[in-house]
Structure 1
Amino acid sequence: MSRTTDTGAATLEQVAVRAGVSRSTVSRVVNGGARVSPDALAAVEAAIAELNYVPNRAARSLASRQTHAIALVVPEDTTRFFGDPYFSSIVAGINDRISASPYMLGLFIASSDPDDKATNFVSSGSVDGALIVSHHTSDEYVRRIARSTPVVYGGRPIGVTPDDYWVDVDNVAGGRLAMRHLVERGCRRVAIITGPDDMLAGIDRLRGSREVLEEAGLDPVGIQNGEFSSAGAAKAMERILESGARPDAIFVASDLMARGALSVLARAGIRVPEDIAIVGFDDSPVASSVVPPLTTVRQPSRDQGAAMADVLLRLLGGEDPPNENLLPLELVVRESA
């Protein structure tokens, strides 16, 4: 490994690679920030000495090395991105914050293809930082981006490390909130339409809802994966009905999925909430536009986007913001349950 760049000066990135830590960890050590473990501190200091890295004022202020661009990386296809109100809300929040800063925001729809142009561009130093939303456990390239540039995640990443920065809601608590409403309403035969099992939002909402059922001495009459899409939830609802489970309530882990489930119930002549009560999750515009209007768990998606951008801007400004950022949830009761 080369000790320095062609110009003779070791870079922050080279120190991070040599120390086996993230770029943000090196930055915190160099700038005197807190929240660095003793082992990481020792590794960074050793790498600095070995590479003769000099974090002088001039090196820190080289404007030519700044792009003043931030990438919003979405590991989803365009159909899901443009069709799910969650994304429009979180992007609006991000843009609120970025537009008031010196930075520009660029959208990148990324994929796991090793030759993916979006991943390669973001990882090449062409942006100063990245915001990543809707990541899955299989999205290893997301970690590749995080190794090359400061990253803030929208949602706690699976396999979270002390160096990760993220903004999320307590999805376990949200699942509990939704299911408790159904149980307290007197529902006893409850089915669940959950999100993908490779996303913590899906895993945690299912976990929270099952905890409440277990505390009530109940078992779910059916659990189906709706893939956080309207079409996926419609198929999941069809499978529940075909199983003969005859639920009296359904917790659906997103409003978009609830819309798909409602369409199937309407075609089957099943009334909501008279025959089946439904609770969704998000409180997106979908919740108030469906018939009947949806009881749902409100997560502040726009605030989440703004908070993500704020954390990243603070990192880029040399500050040391909290790694973990949780936003509040609340149940919004309408006509579906």
Structure 2
Amino acid sequence: MTRPKPQKRATVHDIAAAAGVSRGTVSRVLNGGYVSAEARAAIEAAITEVGYVPNNAARALKMRRSQAVAFVALEPHSLFLDDPNIGSIMLGANAALSLADHQMVSLVVESARDTARVARYLSGGFVDGAIVVSARTRDPIIKVITDLALPAAFVGHPPDLDQSIPFVGIDNAGSARAITQRLREGGRRRIGMIAAALDRDSGIDRLSGFRDALGQAYDEELVIDVPHYDYNSGIKGMRELLQRDPTVDGVFAASDAIAAGALEALREAGRSVPSDVGVVGFDDSTWAVRCQPPLSTVHQPAKELGSYAAQLVLRQLDGEHVAGGQLLTTPIVWRDSA
């Protein structure tokens, strides 16, 4: 059986011949330049007639642009899939990039080997910029992006982030302080915290806000340090907190996923929520409304964070100087868990 020959790709020459205009006139239309209304109409009709599809790879090579932006998530692979906040940030970023005709490339960094691989990728010109989520203090990826002078935006603000790199985030400390104060106002006296990610700004700031809200009532023994914002950490953290002090009557969990795990541990210990123990989370993610009882929490505008970060990168690609940071608002959402 003879295979059919592959169809020849239509070219600018074919469009020009079909439209009865010069190649230069066609090129101006394809690159957004000015031509007469009559010429534009003829060229657009010819594009449809010959079935022309732009060769984006060749165009990118000529312009030295890839039309792609990296979404770099510095999280374990399992958390990248399970954490609804990361997913929402990614969707928000992708929507903004898509409107600007840019492709998003997702890169997950879990190890030093991943960091080296991603550094090589970013250095290779495969992307025009980067959105970075969950960078730690002294994270190698910060130096990589700084050395490359790559247009970038961070979601969150590591303390050692170069001031020339813009960021978008939330007031983690203020939000943690506000929801802990609300928990205290409900009559809770022995309030503990399951604190996570103390190697990055979000975790450090949420613990700081919790400490400020309690003042002299703060007890370091009632703070359980867990590595990640995940459900299993919530179970383990709550079990340890009950072992340290069975009289705990309030818990601030550093994320909704942790709070959901804490609720499970309290159920297995025979504790009623909110009658015996009031529990609050952070994020207002899908975890919050799936829990029983539904979680009181801080609303984190995850999609807006992703969208804003993408726009910061796009503005830099358009030649705008962008620096400094923007904090988005985080209202408390009070539900039945406290």
> Where on the TM-score scale, by shorter chain, does this alignment land: which range?
0.7 to 0.9
Q: Contact 2:164–2:323 at 8 Å: present in 1 too?
A: no
Aligned to 2:99, what secondary structure does the other structure show?
coil
Structure 1 residue identity aligned to 2:80: F
Q: Contact 1:225–1:233 at 8 Å: present in 2 too?
A: no
Compute the TM-score of the two structures, normalised by the length of structure 1: 0.78
User: C-alpha distance in 2, partners of 1:114/1:224?
Assistant: 29
- Confirm whether residue 147 of structure 1 aligns to residue 147 of structure 2: yes
User: C-alpha distance in 2, partners of 1:138/1:270?
Assistant: 41
* 1:47-126 equivalence runs, <5 A: 63-110=62-109, 111-113=111-113, 116-126=116-126
| CA displacement 1:231-254 (0-9 Å, x = unmatched) | 112111111111134211000110
The runs of at least 4 aligned residues of structure 1 exceeding 4 Å deviation read: none
Match of 1:49 in 2: none
Residue 218 (structure 1) shift: 1.0
Query: Is there any run of 5+ residues in structure 2 with no aligned partner, and where?
Result: 1-59
User: C-alpha distance in 1, partners of 2:146/2:261?
Assistant: 35
Q: Contact 1:152–1:164 at 8 Å: present in 2 too?
A: yes
Larger Rg: 2
User: C-alpha distance in 2, partners of 1:209/1:112?
Assistant: 32
Match of 1:173 in 2: 174
Match of 1:19 in 2: none
Q: Contact 1:233–1:257 at 8 Å: present in 2 too?
A: yes
Q: Contact 1:153–1:167 at 8 Å: present in 2 too?
A: yes
| CA displacement 1:144-184 (0-9 Å, x = unmatched) | 13321111001012213321210000001111111111111
Q: Contact 1:81–1:87 at 8 Å: present in 2 too?
A: yes
Match of 2:35 in 1: none
User: C-alpha distance in 1, partners of 2:245/2:211?
Assistant: 21
Residue 334 (structure 1) shift: 0.4
Q: Contact 1:138–1:198 at 8 Å: present in 2 too?
A: no
Q: Sequence identity, in percent?
A: 34
Query: Is there any run of 5+ residues in structure 1 with no aligned partner, and where?
Result: 1-60
| CA displacement 1:289-318 (0-9 Å, x = unmatched) | 000000001010111010000111001101
User: C-alpha distance in 1, partners of 2:292/2:61?
Assistant: 57
Q: Contact 2:132–2:153 at 8 Å: present in 1 too?
A: yes
User: C-alpha distance in 1, partners of 2:232/2:263?
Assistant: 11
Structure 1's 187 and 287: CA in aligned 2 closer, same or farther, altered over 3 A? same
Compute the TM-score of the two structures, normalised by the length of structure 2: 0.78
User: C-alpha distance in 1, partners of 2:245/2:101?
Assistant: 58
Q: CA RMSD in A?
A: 1.7
Residue 125 (structure 1) shift: 2.2
The number of aligned residues is 275
